[in-house]
Amino acid sequence: MGADNQMTGEQWHPSACILCECNCGIEIQLDGRRFARIRGDKRHPSSAGYTCEKSLRLDHYQNGRHRLTTPLRRRADGEYEEIDWATAIDEIAARLTHVRATYGGDKIFFYGGGGQGNHLGAVYNRALQAALGVRYFSNALAQEKTGEMWVDGKLYGGHTKGDFEHAEAVVFVGKNPWQSHSFPRARPTLREIAKDPARTMIVLDPRRSETAAMADIHLQVRPGTDAWCLATMLAVIVQEDLVDHAFLAEHTIGTEPARAALAEVPIETYAQRCGVPAELIRTAARRIATAGSAAVYEDLGVQQGPNSTLVSYLDKLLWILTGNFGKPGAMFLHSTFAALAGASAGGSGGGDARRVRRTPVTGARIISGLVPCNSIAEEILTDHPDRLRAMWIDSANPAHSLADSGRFRRAMSALEMTVVVDVAFTETARQADYVLPAASQFEKWEMTFFNTEFPRNTVQLRPPVLDPLPGTLAEPEIYARLLRALGAVDSGVIADLTAAAKTGRGEFTTAFFAAVGQVPALLGVAPYLLYETLGATMPERQRGTAAVWGLAQLCAMAYPDAVRRAGHPDGNALFDAIIATPWGVAFTADGWEDVWTYVKRPDRRFTVDIPELTEQLRGLRTAEPFTDGEYPLVLSAGERRAFTANTIYRDPTWRRRDPAGALRVSPYDAQRLGLHDGGLARVTTAAGTAQAVVEISDMMQPGHVSLPNGLGVDHPDHGRVGVAPNELTSVELRDAFAGTPWHKHVPARVEAV
């Protein structure tokens, strides 16, 4: 599979959309190297043929002038020169070795490791980290999800999701699934809920988003007041005694402090603060508490705004206090094929997991192993002796996606060495000392670790659709070459395991576990070890799948019963099924009674008391707004729209509408500020200023403006179109617990140009 001469004609090639975490199964028909037709793959066990319109334009990612085809090295004058792979690997290995020897491996920072669809390379990236002795890393989750992860860790030690397809009441908090999806077949599911009079959709959002417009109840809060609205809903549930006492008695400990704080909430006062009629909040709260089932989804609208970790806690109290867990239509915990981050912080089970890790310079809290994104530049731009000295960035564009792009660029310049691995010459690559061109996500075996489904959780290892663009390499090969250059594993170990792999899978399994049992340090570089040994027995282009064998073993050890229920007797059988089913396969099967086994505490109860957040909940009484006379508006920087995607779509011609990424303003503000549809406006924040085309939109309420995500990237033919949102954001605006940025709550002012 994958050779160009096989890739023309009527053949449909199974693959996946790489634009959001749903990773819908698709099939691609080729015309030479171009994607001629794309359709949903009905065989995909999760998406079952569904896609949204964004996936149909994936040729804009695959083919275009943005692609890199040779390693680049920055010269002293700032220009880039082409170098061959051998030179690049030798020089990078030598410079990494120098940084490690001079300052220690813990001064080399790693960022990224995959976007929405390419997580296989990250497994090998972690092997390089282990070989170098890296301690600090991060990725985009640390500017979105770490607050929720911290709360999850405290409550039950896992990740929850909702059964939206069957819930009687669904609640979306700062979430617009019509555009941002996040659960399978999002749009048909929303339509089904909207047309069923027995079901209720409740949306908490300052905008009248596409989802809010479909909702039965829209809690249109003032921007940044989500915590007051949620506290009011919970206060209604507590003060009207709508709590599920039997559920709390059987499945939780420590609900009293939160319930006591909620009993004190002044409902009318808080409703006024969030700008929603108290009676509407009461109606929503009563509906959730009395529904046969309810499921809740929070997303970036609240996770990138004030009080975000508290909001995550309140959001989870909504379904915990009403007993909506572990039954059809409610919330569940699930298995995981491979971790996207480290263990969740806090740890419901107690012990070592309660120890707080902090960054070496600023002491920022590290959650799930991830350094807060807003802290990265601060860990570099200082004369502190423990500052970071080098950075490795893989399949990520932090100079565009993290708060205050200017500061991040300065931080990259201050480092002694920076390397970027990517398919394109991104805004981040333009700051790096070395740029290594990766094969695209359709030119190699690839997979995603957004495996969060229930009752059958699925994984898809997709084969390449095309040969790699000449000059590019798949990430597993890039990391293997570097690890060879670093001499990461003794050649005798590799020779012995390769011989075992050539003998048979059973012999290899025994030999591999014996080797890592004898030398536990090999576990850190296990993906590389598998690539060199088991991978040597595979077809050359499939070699990167060797690490999946290791992940399948770990998965079968973690969930032996659930993996067997899905039809896989052991890890080897699971690996074989994954390889043989390119449109995806269920790796675990659970029933509703099994979800309790994922609670980390030995007694399988939720640990509800989180004193820090109960204190913050009480503090809402006196909290001040964040806008002022100089910056009276709230800018949402990075709104998801029909024609926005992440920055892997670099060619602006993919957008059929809203080509320049308009600044959306309410009719009230437009009139007040003298703005016209299609005219120009200047947006100014504490961090910077930008000009944008105006769109007057009923979606926005007075005082709230928005710019889309994914704009403002450089393209060789079209230049830079639209506003790069993080030229306007600040690292100082962040959550007190998790350090997550307030991209959706940037104080701003707007003037007509």
Contact residues toward ligand SF4 (CB under 6 A) are 17, 19-20, 22-24, 51-52, 54-55, 181
For the bound state, the minimum distance from the C-beta of residue 55 to ligand SF4, rounded and expressed in Å, comes to 4
Shortest distance, position 99 Cβ to ligand SF4, whole Å: 38
Shortest separation between residue 177's beta carbon and ligand SF4, angstroms = 9
**Considering beta carbons, is residue 186 or 310 the nearer one to ligand SF4?**
186
In the numeric block, which tokens belong to residue 50?
């569904």
Minimum CB distance to ligand SF4, residue 18 (Å): 7
CA angle 722, 642, 585 (to 5 degrees): 120
HEC readout, 233-262: HHHHHHHCCCCCHHHHHHHEECCHHHHHHH
Closest to ligand SF4 by CB, 20 vs 617, is 20
CB 559 within 8 Å of CB 533:
no
**Which of 457, 509 has the CB closer to ligand SF4?**
457
Residue 629 CA: distances (Å) to CA of 394, 735, 753: 41, 23, 20
> Which of 112/117 has CB closer to ligand SF4?
117
Rounded Cα distance between 651 and 559, Å, is: 43
Instruction: Write down the residue that tokens 């691995």 correspond to.
Output: 421
Nearer to ligand SF4, 111 or 643 (CB): 643
Least distance from C-beta 720 to ligand SF4, angstroms?
A: 24
Cβ distance to ligand SF4 smaller for residue 22 or 284 = 22
Strand partners, 578: none
Cα end-to-end distance, the chain, whole Å: 55
C-beta closer to ligand SF4: residue 57 or 316: 57
Residue among 375 and 709 whose Cβ is closer to ligand SF4: 709
Find the shortest distance in angstroms from Cβ 176 to ligand SF4.
13
Q: Which residues are within 8 A (CB) of 728 and not within 5 positions of it... i.e. 6 or more apart?
A: 635, 637, 683, 685, 687, 688, 689, 690, 707, 746, 748
Q: Which two tokens stand for residue 685?
A: 């924040």
We find the least distance from the C-beta atom of residue 20 to ligand SF4, in angstroms, to be 3
Query: Residue 386: which H helix or E strand, with range?
Result: none
Q: SS3 string of 536-547?
A: HHCCHHHHHHHH
Closest distance between ligand SF4 and the C-beta of residue 26, in Å?
A: 7
Task: Round to whole Å and give the CA distance between 518 and 628.
Answer: 62
Distance between CA 14 and CA 643 in Å, rounded? 25
Cis geometry, peptide bond prior to residue 71 (ω within 30 degrees of 0): no
Q: Give the nearer residue to ligand SF4 in terms of CB position, either 461 or 488.
A: 461
Q: Closer CB to ligand SF4, residue 325 or residue 643?
A: 643
| Minimal distance, residue 641 CB to ligand SF4, in Å | 12
Least separation, in Å, of the C-beta of 202 and ligand SF4? Answer: 22
Q: Are 346 and 153 in contact (CB under 8 A)?
A: yes
Residue 298 · residue 148 · CB < 8 Å? yes
DSSP labels, 440-490:
PTTSS-EE------SSEEEE-EEPPSSPPPTT-B-HHHHHHHHHHHTT-S-
Closer CB to ligand SF4, 206 or 584, in the complex: 584
Helices (H), 336-450: 398-401, 405-414
Q: From the CB of 52, what's the least distance to ligand SF4, in Å?
A: 3
